[in-house]
Amino acid sequence: TAYGGQRSGDPSLTSKVLIGINAAVWVLLLATGGRGSPLVDVLALRPDGGLTEVNGVTYNIPAGVADGRYWQLFTSMFTHVEVWHIGFNMLALWALGPQLEAAIGRTRFLALYLLSGLTASAAVMWFSVPYSLTLGASGAIFGLMGALALVAVKVYGDVRGVAIWIAVNFAFTFLFVRLISWQGHVGGFVGGLLLGAVIVYAPRAS
């Protein structure tokens, strides 16, 4: 067993499915206008919408989670517009996902990915500007990093390699903080650490 869960026959399968879903949403957005697609405002995460004033100009911001679009907490982690954004995230998912699925099993890996994405969304809701727009799988990816670090510690693996990967990604996060959601990255990472601790350190019998 993989930490009490059923070991995956193909540990890359879940990552392939997740990459396929992200790619399909990306193609859909490109086909409907890219950054200007009306679907961006529907799928990406916006904590709040409504009227807001910036430099004396009043804008009518599209509806967000506080206005009833609760699905954005989930759909935002599958939403990308720029090719570099989806490319980097999917490359990271392909590098991290199969390792984790092989270690903890398919069901736990999928739960880890989705719940890390939701903790990232929660952090965005809590710490971001209410009318900001956040999208991308980065929060879930950072959750995988946190969990993989715990697995490496547990099995006395190459912790340095994982630590360098994490450090480089956080360095980019805060170096380009105006372009990157640090809230989502930190929230996803913390969520991955907590969920990873439950999976890795819980008694194997349960």
Task: With CA atoms as reference, report the closest residue to 139 among 71, 75, 69.
Answer: 75
- Cα–Cα distance between 64 and 187 in angstroms, integer? 19
pLDDT single digits (tens) 93-141? 999 999 999 999 999 999 999 999 999 999 999 999 999 999 999 999 9
pLDDT at site 187: 97
Is residue 1 very low, low, confident or very high in pLDDT (cuts 50, 70, 90)? very low
pLDDT exceeds 70 at position 38: yes
pLDDT single digits (tens) 146-158? 999 999 999 888 8
Cβ atoms of 115 and 170 within 8 Å: the answer is: no
Cβ atoms of 77 and 136 within 8 Å: the answer is: yes
Residues marked active site are found at 138, 185
pLDDT exceeds 80 at position 71: yes
The residue with tokens 């990157």 is 180
Average pLDDT over every residue of 69-94: 97
